[in-house]
Amino acid sequence: PLGHVVVVGAGFAGLTAAKYLRDWSMGNLKVTVIEPNPQFISCPQSNLVLGGSRTLDDLSFSYALSRKQHGIDWVQDTVTSVDLTNKQVQLTRGHLHYDRLVLAPGVDFNYASITGMTTPVTDIPHAWKAGLQTLQLRQQLEQMPDGGVFVMTIPPGPYRCPPGPYERACQVAHYFKQQKPRSKVVILDANADIVSKKGLFLQSFQGAYKDLIEYHNNSTILQLDPVSKTVKTDFESVKADVLNVIPPQLAGKVTQVAGLVNVDQRWCEVDFVTYASTLQPDVHIIGDSISAGLPKSAHMATSHAKVCAAAIIAMQTGHAPNPLPVFANTCYSFVDDQQAMHVANVYRYDPVKKSMVSAEGGGVSAKASVQEGEYAQAWAQNIWADTLT
Ligand code: FAD
């Protein structure tokens, strides 16, 4: 055997890394995945559960096929700490030794920075990790009377899925338009501007959802009262019937306890040729936890995973990793139950800047369409198949 790689987290990044580490090493690397959740639930398309055109079951998948087909060892548990000196991860039950460690824990939420709501509140779901909170938010929307107000707060970037909050606003507005047309969606965005597909989202906000969506930029939360569900910003005070606070984000907790968060006290810096932490060469970090200046997306997470898996196999067999990785990112957003739009880019490693740089060109839709809705569905089927089988 070429050694033992322990992968922490079986989301888009970790599960893809585990699969390709096994396949591309022809089974010569031992790979153990540690993941607490019994099944995989996809964040992509989870906004459509709020809009009513998908169920959570449509987005939930078993890990069994992937484990079996690729011969991945599996421990259903959580990593609580990492002993970098002795190369061991501590689980709630026991510990494991690794030759190389891949950390893929996604994001953690920073509630401490929300004035008035410094810890999670049960009836104010974030629904920013797909699962029970997605269902809870949908139920709250169903129970809200016609004429009610849905308020969503967007944290300062970077956060997971830059277009995700605006897609969510469209999905909720789509539901209101069908079922509760006197209701309102109020977006309180801490950022100066819509960072992704701005023109396209504004077409929906000012077109199909003109009387339903109110968008406010530069709307940092000054005070939040979780009991009355009132959010105060510099400009106004808004009372919600249904309140969705998307908290500020940082690298997954296990990277914090391992001491590998070294950018803005939020993200982990990596070498984009190997995804090794710049603090610890035998610990690789992939997915939403890294500092990249690139969108935090499932498509990106699987791309990091493939570059990282190939680099680990090269290094474990005494070869140099590919010095010039290239990958793409396509991100679709649904504006209703059928129409979607996309942005697509190619990224190349720039050895001078030591980072992934967006290549000239790239594409963005002229407008949302039913045809792109079909492409978006195919994109999802493909990434689920690549990650989970
Ligand atoms: P995750 O997928 O979150 O996986 C992390 C895993 O690590 C989890 O399973 C977790 O249980 C596990 N874990 C965490 N800590 C530990 C620990 N200590 N021990 C063991 N396991 C641990 N991206 C797209 O490309 N297209 C889209 O259309 C899209 N839509 C989105 C819509 C919404 C509403 C949201 C919220 C996100 C969307 N995204 C989309 C973004 C995408 O979901 C994330 O970028 C992606 O999930 C990141 O993958 P990851 O593996 O880094 O994290």
Q: Please report the pLDDT score of residue 196 as a whole number.
A: 86
DSSP 253: H
> What separation in Å is there between the alpha carbon of 137 and the centre of ligand 1?
19
Atom of ligand 1 nearest to the CA of 47: 34
**Most informative mutation of 288, 290, 291, 335 for ligand 1 (most atoms within 8 A of CB):** 288
Taking the centre of ligand 1 as the mean of its atom positions, its distance from the CA of residue 286, in whole angstroms, is 11
Q: Is the bond into 162 cis (omega within 30 degrees of 0)? A: no
What pLDDT, on a 0 to 100 scale, did the predictor assign at position 10? Answer: 98
Residue nearest to atom 31 of ligand 1 (CA): 44
Candidate from 16, 41, 43 with most ligand 1 atoms within 8 A of CB, to mutate:
43
What is the structure's pLDDT at 1?
82
How far apart (Å, rounded) are the C-alpha atoms in residues 58 and 38? 16
| In contact, 216 and 233? CB cutoff 8 Å | yes
Cα–Cα dist 49/222, whole Å = 30
Give the model confidence (pLDDT) of 297-314 as tens digits.
Answer: 999 999 999 999 999 999
Contact between 19 and 302 under an 8 Å Cβ cutoff? The reply is: no
pLDDT in tens, 330-364: 999 999 999 999 999 999 999 999 999 998 887 89
Ligand 1 atom having least distance to the Cα of 298: 25
Q: Strand, helix or coil at 270? A: strand
Kindly give the distance from the C-alpha atom of residue 335 to the centroid of ligand 1, in angstroms, as a whole number.
22
| Residue bearing the CA closest to ligand 1, atom 29 | 44
pLDDT score, position 8 = 98
- Quote the ligand 1 centre to 181 CA distance (angstroms): 33
Q: Tell me the one-letter amino acid at 78.
A: T
- CA 386 to centroid of ligand 1, rounded, Å: 15
Task: Tell me what pLDDT residue 47 has.
Answer: 98
Which residues in 45-160 belong to E strands, given as ranges?
60-62, 73-75, 79-83, 88-91, 95-97, 100-103, 107-109, 149-154
Handedness of CA 229, 233, 238, 243 (dihedral sign): negative
Nearest CA to ligand 1 atom 53: 106
Cβ < 6 Å from ligand 1: which residues? 8-14, 34-37, 43-44, 46-47, 78-79, 104-106, 128, 160-161, 164, 252, 254, 287-288, 296-299, 301, 331-332
Lookup: tokens for 243: 């309140």
Calpha distance 225→211 (Å, rounded): 27
* pTM of the predicted protein model: 0.97
Q: Residue 149 in contact with residue 141, Cβ under 8 Å? A: no
Q: Which residue, 95, 51, 9, 14, is CA-closest to 212?
A: 51
pLDDT in 10s for each residue of the chain, 389 residues: 899 999 999 999 999 999 999 999 999 999 999 999 999 999 999 999 999 999 999 999 999 999 999 999 999 999 999 999 999 999 999 999 999 999 999 999 999 999 999 999 999 999 999 999 999 999 999 999 999 999 999 999 999 999 999 999 999 999 999 999 999 999 999 999 998 899 999 999 999 999 999 999 999 999 999 999 999 998 899 999 999 999 999 999 999 999 999 999 999 999 999 999 999 999 999 999 999 888 999 999 999 999 999 999 999 999 999 999 999 999 999 999 999 999 999 999 999 999 999 988 878 999 999 999 999 999 999 999 999 99
pLDDT at 362: 79
